[in-house]
Structure 1
Amino acid sequence: MIRGGDIAKGTCLLQKGQPFIVVEREFVNPGKGGAFARVKMKSLRDGSVLTQTIPTQLEVEDAQVDTHSCQ
């Protein structure tokens, strides 16, 4: 599990049962209410893009993705 405040570009997350990689993230700290991260993610399966607003204290599931270089 990873907290919303610890999400960085390149992090792999599980959303809706699919692995996503974070393409963009922006932290917003409004004058009223708690801070949150606005995250743009790309699906590793079909390439669809998902934009979500995640509170910094909320824990989301990180995906275990193995990468290796090919020739």
Structure 2
Amino acid sequence: MIVESWGRISFDGLEEIPEENIQAHLFPKHGFLNELFNRMQWEIIIKSSEMHVTVIIDAHNGDFIGIFGAHS
């Protein structure tokens, strides 16, 4: 289960999802200052029979940015 609380995210219970169903991509963040300072973000995609979710995390400080998709 993916749980958000106070800007932190927990991926507890995802051990049974095969590695091929979890992808991580590093993308540049949008916006003038982000592009000027080459700020990046991780987009982590998790697919299983129960969920298809994308989690966005700041690559520089690890801050949680957002979560999109169906999750439990």
Higher helix share: 2
Q: TM-score range by the shorter chain?
A: 0.3 to 0.5
Q: Which has the higher contact order (CA 8 A, sep 6+)?
A: 1
TM-score, normalization by structure 2: 0.41
TM-score, normalization by structure 1: 0.42
